[in-house]
Structure 1
Amino acid sequence: MNKAIFIMGVSGCGKSTIGQLVSQRLKIPFFDGDDFHPQSNVAKMSSGVPLDDEDRYGWLVTLNKLAKKELQKSSCVIVCSALKQTYRDILSSDIKNQVKWFHLVGSFEQILERVNNRSNHFMPTDLLQSQFNTLEQPEDAFEVNIGLKPEEIVEIITEELKMKSEFGLFGLGVMGKSLSRNLAQKGFNISIFNREVKGTEENIAINFKNSHKELQTAQAFSDIEAFVNSLQTPRRIMLMVNAGKITDMVIEDLIPFLSDGDVLIDGGNSNYLDTKTRYDYLKEKNIHFIGVGVSGGEEGALKGPSIMPGGNKEIYNLVKPYLEKIAAKDANNAPCCTYVGEEGSGHFVKMVHNGIEYVEMQLLAEVYTIFKMIGYTPDRIADIFESWKLKANSYLLEITIDILRKKDGDDWLVNKIVDKAGNKGTGNWATIATAQLGAPSTLIATALFARFTSFYKEERIQASKNFNKEVLELKLNNDDVLNAYQFARIINHYQGIKLISEAGKAYKWQLNLSEIARIWTNGCIIRSNFMVQLISVLKEDDNILAHKKIINQVKSLKPSIKKVVANCILNELAVPCLSDSVNFFNAYFTANSSANIIQAQRDYFGAHTYQRTDDATGKFYHTNW
């Protein structure tokens, strides 16, 4: 990837000389920032008056435009004093990931001697002290001592440019491998790391590098110190390791080799509360931490995942170019990656994404069960699902079609798979979070408990012998089932988005729900036509069930969900998520519920008090029952 190499420092430090030598060595264009000052600036400095920020602004913008123009063609060297951080921010605006800073450092006495020996320059020597006074030490620049010989300085700079990778990826599991290939394909110079176990797992990183052409320029490591030292500063290291204690162990292993301002990016399925704890812990050590949700599985990670980053927004900007470049693209070619919010919000949103995913998977499994009871073969069910694409297409629908059509010998493979569904924890966390926040995301819990129930295989086999199933007749057609499925999906998305909304309020995260829906339209597991619809819906109202279009959809679908669930119950067919969707909805649109009885009971045995319908003040009462 092309680089804008900025060589900075106070006047007289030798920027121009070194810059020209570096450009000659690298065979790339050279530009002296002083040549781009407007005449008014030159006149002001010639008269012995220091430039102020207003004088410099237009000049800095001009140099930024120059860098952008040159980067379209090749790398370039630009020398510029760039004494303040605000100046450097302007110079690197919109190209931060393509800028490399080198700071030429020397004492006042060293540089004063050089300035006094310099001829044909418009800046008087008495302005040198003002430059030292103005200088703000850069945190992200590579420092070089001007006491060295010019050829030694050039050698150091070129070696730094040649040897250092701009992004590191720690952990080469399934997702780590795919993401590293994705980064390399996008033109980033990366370092990759994986541990070795002598005698069993050796040369993992180097073998992986050698097996993929796009990783030819990547640096592969099994030594942590060498891996960290291979990266440009501030270092950007993405962790793709198992959530929990392993993540903490990896962080502790990295800390001794990190420097102030380095950035760790946790791309695993970490608990959002753990992310907050790690953020605070590393902040005390002057190391930045970004929690990033990544969805899309192995293929998505390689071709473009949906990415949900959370943390400090200013620090996110240091990694934004990399994450946005590797992300999937939406219908308007915008990256399916957006800054979600503060602290652990990125991992929270990914957790809820997985909760919605649990429900979507369970609903398709229940629909499959209905059609199977009717007597349809997997091929016939796949054909029905194929016909649903026009009205209810999604990634999960598409892969379920493929699954149902897969044969193994003379039978369908799905018939040979043991009906015990596992989980990796995010559904559990989402269920806990919805209880802690008091949000009624019942379907996520129901889908999770359906998986738990499936795991009691032996007990279920025995129970099927103890209790005779009474099967009548499923009086359902394909449209009934499709409409019920669509109804339940609307409720699922309402509940998931409501959970995110309630978390935003509770933790004071500034969340954009429409933008979250947008980055879920491609690259992730729950991408669907309905998610595309929700982008505009959520721009108008955080509550999708209050939107006129959704209200009309629910009204038209409601008869089908009642019919399907009733038939399934009468035929003793388990459809927990379909059932829960209509049960929740019945409670949701009941203006006066039975909760008054519960509140009376609470007051009876625990004196918990209650409010009265005939007192609008909201006063609480207690009765001696």
Structure 2
Amino acid sequence: MNQIKPHIIFLMGVSGVGKSTIGSLLAETLNIPFFDGDDYHPEQNIQKMSQGKSLNDDDRFGWLQSLNQIAFEASQNKGCVMVCSALKESYREILSKNIEAYSKWIFLNGSFEQIKKRINNRSGHFMSSDLLQSQFDILEAPKYAINVDISLTPKKMVEVISKQLSEKSAFGLFGLGVMGKSLARNLASKGFDISLFNRHVDGQEEDVAKNFKDEFEELSTALAFDDVALFVNSLQKPRKVMLMVNAGKTVDGVIEDLLPFLENGDIIIDGGNSNFNDTKKRFDYLASKNIRFVGTGVSGGEEGALKGPSIMPGGDLEAYKEVQPYLETIAAKDANDLPCCTFIGTEGSGHFVKMVHNGIEYVEMQLLAEVFTILKAKGHNPDQIADILASWKATTNSYLLEITIDILRKKEGNDWLVNRIMDKAGNKGTGNWTTISSTQLGVPSTMITSALFARYTSFYKEERIEANRNFAPNNTPNLNFSAEELLEAYHFARLMNHYQGFKLIQEASLSNNWGLNLSELSRIWTNGCIIRSDFMMELVSIFKVSDNLLKNDEIIQRIKALKPSAQKVTSQCILNEVAAPNLIESISFLNSFSVANSSANLLQAQRDYFGAHTYQRNDDHTNKFYHTDWINN
């Protein structure tokens, strides 16, 4: 059975339900401290109630804050049982601030007549039964508390509470692949009661959850299941179930498996790499079932999921507030120790920005691969290339740069392991989706497309070998530029990549009315995620004053300074037939984007010629459209 962890247990209800009696008995049973909220009322509150006057919200505010501080300090130790009337939801929010995920609510419930009789039978208390009606008048019964009938004996009430506390988990993790397992361990190590589920497949996947639980000490109190009904029933209400399964039809299938056992207000979190269009559909579908949905991007890989990923939740804001304490606690922390997790926006916005994150990631990886290709062409071995890249960390460090250095230094026997890896790069679809979204929105995310197509090209290994025989030059490349100039070209290309990625996010936000915050998005990408970098940290402040990198004065000057090296490196790569499609695309994009009067006038004339698509004139500012009979004129 799952053991009760050192949480903060709040007993609430109107005066006279027996909160102090039950609370002290429960604390004794659990061997944790007990605090009676009434003992902490300021003198003015006690005097007011003794005079038969009801407390207002202003009277309660400071009192509730002081109780919250006591509870917070207790959460850092053994936890505690605290009794407090907490009649309104707003009061409960103050009481549990910063400890929401560790708070358990017990509602002692009884009738007015039953409680009035109890109050009249006690002596020496500052509150008379005359004030009881005022408490019932403002009582907002909690939706998701353990509801206990006060007609039971105190001993039985404590037994009921203890049983429900010990048997219900706060959070469910559905799917124990690599990421699911790491997130589960992350949650458990932060002190959360969790339930684990993995499917049962005879002869292939048997007792996965149980065996995983037994493997790690931090999971000793987790509950393990391969039965969906039992898994769902093990969760506290509103149930919070995070799916870590393959994107696509699998997610829809799991949702259908869960629905018969869920109730109104329960929450499903999709933590996989789902297509944001699918997330929008699921959001609407589940809303029709009164189930709340949070589509959540998670970046950081296996290590990030375990030690702290970057988390991008979107969908139902109220549902996010319910799961916020869990997601923010397990997320990576930025330079100011704030969680790299923030509510992105409605519908599928969380999965959209994760998709673009992956598109930017495609480019960052491809650029480093091209740098590797270029330095090999200049005669350097992997160790030497790693040393060169290590020297770049001082000015343009990133997670991907660091792991590339590690990769290049890894040897197997007398050779570098990278030399033995087949040059066929896979992909899981997010780069493809990003490219499709770019075309649908009409945004020139050319570098993401180029990086994606570089992976597609790599897959045609046999044809490439034949093309190499037919078209590769016989001469050795003569690349006449320094490592410093290559660094500047690399940095230039990264600027273009980040411009295009964030421009795509901005246009999607405008198109869908998401209201995305580019600075906040940059902030949660400063740690935990794959594209974290020193430059990403700069973008946090840059996007506070500008939403367009190519309009920022500092970035403009940087681009101007780096552009000559980008031109030199890419032109020599072309002349020496060294493949560098993303580096070349970076300068090509800026060259085409910075042309005030482009060749698109001829394109539009051609369209009008064969299709009567019309055109606008640059000497007519009325936005009128024209058509010309090109043959007869």
- Tell me the residue number matched to 1:310: 314
Matched, 1:396 2:400: yes
Measured after TM superposition, the shift of residue 63 of structure 1 is 2.8
Please state whether the residue corresponding to 1:611 is helix, strand or coil. Answer: coil
- Tell me the residue number matched to 1:454: 458
- Tell me the residue number matched to 2:143: 139
- Tell me the residue number matched to 1:244: 248
Matched, 1:203 2:213: no
Residues in 2 aligned to 1:74 and 1:375: alpha-carbon distance in whole angstroms: 62
Measured after TM superposition, the shift of residue 41 of structure 1 is 4.1
Residues in 2 aligned to 1:347 and 1:175: alpha-carbon distance in whole angstroms: 16
Identical counterparts, % of pairs: 65
**TM-score normalised to structure 1 length:** 0.95
Question: Residue 148 of structure 1 is aligned with which of 125, 148, 152?
Answer: 152
Q: Deviations over 1:215-270 (max 9, x none)?
A: 22222222222222222222222211111111111122122222332222211111
Residues in 2 aligned to 1:430 and 1:293: alpha-carbon distance in whole angstroms: 14
- Tell me the residue number matched to 1:493: 498
Q: Deviations over 1:429-481 (max 9, x none)?
A: 11111111111111111111111111111222222233353646332332232
Measured after TM superposition, the shift of residue 47 of structure 1 is 4.8
Please state whether the residue corresponding to 2:561 is helix, strand or coil. Answer: helix
Residues in 1 aligned to 2:196 and 2:605: alpha-carbon distance in whole angstroms: 62
Matched, 1:254 2:262: no
Matched, 1:547 2:549: no
Superposition pairs for residues 137-536 of structure 1, below 5 Å?
Answer: 137-469=141-473, 471=475, 473-536=478-541
One-letter amino acid of the counterpart of residue 7, structure 1: L
- Tell me the residue number matched to 1:622: 627
One-letter amino acid of the counterpart of residue 66, structure 2: T
Measured after TM superposition, the shift of residue 43 of structure 1 is 4.6
- Tell me the residue number matched to 2:87: 83
Measured after TM superposition, the shift of residue 39 of structure 1 is 4.5
Measured after TM superposition, the shift of residue 601 of structure 1 is 2.0
39-48 or 91-100: which moved more?
Answer: 39-48
**TM-score normalised to structure 2 length:** 0.94
Residues in 1 aligned to 2:483 and 2:192: alpha-carbon distance in whole angstroms: 49
Tell me how many residue pairs correspond in the alignment.
625
C-alpha distance 414-39 of structure 1, shift in aligned 2 (>3 A): closer
One-letter amino acid of the counterpart of residue 396, structure 1: L
**Are the counterparts in 2 of residues 342 and 510 from structure 1 also a CA contact under 8 Å?**
no
Q: Deviations over 1:312-337 (max 9, x none)?
A: 33322222222222222222322222
Matched, 1:26 2:1: no
Please state whether the residue corresponding to 2:263 is helix, strand or coil. Answer: coil
Matched, 1:576 2:581: yes
Residues in 2 aligned to 1:459 and 1:159: alpha-carbon distance in whole angstroms: 66
Superposition pairs for residues 35-54 of structure 1, below 5 Å?
Answer: 35-54=39-58
**Are the counterparts in 2 of residues 193 and 205 from structure 1 also a CA contact under 8 Å?**
yes
**Are the counterparts in 2 of residues 139 and 261 from structure 1 also a CA contact under 8 Å?**
no
Measured after TM superposition, the shift of residue 582 of structure 1 is 0.8
Residues in 2 aligned to 1:67 and 1:404: alpha-carbon distance in whole angstroms: 51
Residues in 1 aligned to 2:35 and 2:307: alpha-carbon distance in whole angstroms: 38
C-alpha distance 621-5 of structure 1, shift in aligned 2 (>3 A): same
Q: Deviations over 1:165-188 (max 9, x none)?
A: 222211111111111111222222
Question: Residue 57 of structure 1 is aligned with which of 61, 68, 86?
Answer: 61
**Are the counterparts in 1 of residues 102 and 192 from structure 2 also a CA contact under 8 Å?**
no
- Tell me the residue number matched to 2:105: 101
Residues in 1 aligned to 2:135 and 2:482: alpha-carbon distance in whole angstroms: 81
One-letter amino acid of the counterpart of residue 59, structure 1: W
Cα RMSD (Å) = 2.1
**Are the counterparts in 2 of residues 470 and 571 from structure 1 also a CA contact under 8 Å?**
no
Residues in 1 aligned to 2:316 and 2:513: alpha-carbon distance in whole angstroms: 14
114-123 or 439-448: which moved more?
Answer: 114-123
Unaligned 5+ runs, structure 2 = none
Residues in 1 aligned to 2:91 and 2:526: alpha-carbon distance in whole angstroms: 38
Residues in 1 aligned to 2:65 and 2:364: alpha-carbon distance in whole angstroms: 50
Residues in 2 aligned to 1:15 and 1:509: alpha-carbon distance in whole angstroms: 45
Residues in 2 aligned to 1:153 and 1:341: alpha-carbon distance in whole angstroms: 42
Measured after TM superposition, the shift of residue 156 of structure 1 is 0.9
